[in-house]
Every structure is written in C-alpha cells, then in structure tokens.
Structure 1
Amino acid sequence: MSWVNVCGYQVLQPERGVCALVDGRQVALFRTHDGVVHALGNQDPFSGAYVLSRGIVGTRKGEPTVASPLHKQVFSLVTGHCLDEPAVTVPVYQVRLDGELVQVAVSV
C-alpha cells in the first residue's frame, strides 16, 4: 500500500464532496462537520455514473452517509454499504492527513 497526495485539507468544505483521480480511479472525498475525511469510489453502482461526489451528505442513525444525486440510494461513508440495499457496496479508501495534506491509500 502507498499513500497518494490528493489535496489540501482546507479545499474540502464540510458536508460537500469533491472528486479526485487517484491512481487511475475516481475517488469521492468528503469532509464531515466533525472534521473527519472519508473517501469512497465515485461510481454510483445503480446507474454506473461517476456522481457520488455530488451527492447529499448527511447521517443515518449517527452514521455519516452520502445519497446518490441520481436515484437517492444512501451509502455509508464508513463502510461503503448501501443502507437501502445492503448487498450493494462501493469501495472505501483509507484516508490520512499529513499536516494539512489529504492522502489516500492505494494498493501497489
């Protein structure tokens, strides 16, 4: 596993997503109100469109989530599981801060 520099922490606005190309993959990054950064695959598995970074960030039973902007299925930002259809998931990427720099882990 290696870490890829993605963006500055301040670039991520709370409760808004951004998309980054990380090692050839579209990754949706989210900073929640508590300051935690989460990273998921950007592809909506229901439509095939790369749009999760434009989804609506919220919570369900205390778990941070994003709702797809197309069909509104809700995904956990922690596990990547669809909370509406648990058999469906999106990839989750490890994230860390190196000072003010956001880094995402990729497999080597």
Structure 2
Amino acid sequence: MKRDNQAASWIAVCGIDDIVPNTGVAALLNGEQVAVFRLNDGAEPRVYAIGNFDPNANAAVLSRGLVGNLGERIVVASPLYKHHFDLRTGECLEAPENSVPSWPARIDGGKVWVGA
C-alpha cells in the first residue's frame, strides 16, 4: 500500500518541533487522516506517515500508539487492541488483511512533508 514516491506532490503538515520525539500526531491530507511519526533514534530525526484509522478497532487512533521495534521493523502499537503496524509499509503484523496505507515523508526546512 506504499504510495509512489516519484509521483508524490509534497504537502507540509506541521513543523518537526510540533511532534514530540518518538511519538505521532494526526494530520489531514487531502481529506484523509494520516498518522505522522517522528523518531529520534539516531543523529537526525526521521519521519513516517501511515493511515491513522485502525481497521481492527474501527477507530482513528494510530497516531496515539506506542512506537517501538519488533526485530528489524519499526512499528506503532495501536492503543486499543495493541496490533502492530509497520511504519514503513503500513502492514498490520497480526492481521495483514487490515493493513493501512503509507505515504513517503521527509523533513525539509524544519517542516514535515508528506507525499500526497
């Protein structure tokens, strides 16, 4: 469900300092809720964007989940049923049929940009 990075038109959704390190925020992107995460586990922060709607819980809550790792995968655990979603791909590890979309994301000029 990864969106095409080459065809993306980029939209600034917030400032990088608007996201507490190692957490997420919700943003509206072309009418769709997107969960945007900031990870500070290296020299430079990284950002990821996946759908905010958790189909397992039938609620828009993924931006409020806990960020961590399962092996090599960077994931967010949904705050309701604790399903894990890969921040790179949107794949739900426990129920792949309930995966969410993902978008390319980057930091530029102190802002977080998501490819729409």
**Fraction of identical pairs, as percent:** 48
Indicate if the aligned counterparts of 2:24 and 2:64 stay in contact, CA closer than 8 A.
yes
1:17–1:54 Cα contact (<8 Å) kept: yes
d(CA) in 2 for partners of 1:24 and 1:88? Answer: 20
Give the match for residue 47 of structure 1: 57
Contact 2:46/2:107, CA 8 A, preserved across alignment: no
1:20 partner amino acid? A
Distance 1:33 1:64 in 2: 12
- Cα distance in 2 for partners of 1:96, 1:15 equals 15
Alignment gaps of 5+ in structure 2: 1-7
Aligned length: 106
Q: Are 1:100 and 2:110 matched, yes or no?
A: yes
Match status 1:91 vs 2:98? no
Question: What is the aligned partner in structure 1 of residue 38 from structure 2?
Answer: 31
User: Which residue of structure 2 lines up, in the alignment, with residue 60 of structure 1?
Assistant: 70
Q: Pairwise mapping of residues 12-31 of structure 1 onto structure 2 (< 5 A)?
A: 12-31=19-38
**Alpha-carbon deviation of 1:43?**
0.1
Contact 1:32/1:64, CA 8 A, preserved across alignment: no
Q: Is 1:72 aligned with 2:75?
A: no
Q: How far apart in 1 are the matches of 2:27 and 2:34?
A: 5
> Equivalents in 2 of 1:37, 1:75: separation in Å?
15
Does the alignment pair 1:9 with 2:9? no
Which runs of 5 or more residues in structure 1 are unaligned?
none
Q: How large is the Cα RMSD of the aligned pairs?
A: 1.1
Kindly state the Cα deviation for residue 11 of structure 1 after the two structures are TM-superposed. Answer: 1.2
Instruction: Write out per-residue CA displacement over residues 56-108 of structure 1, whole angstroms, 9 at most, x where no aligned residue.
Output: 111100221001111110011011111112333111011122221111111xx
Task: Report Cα offsets for 1:4-43 as digits up to 9, x if no partner.
Answer: 1111111111111100111111000111122210001000
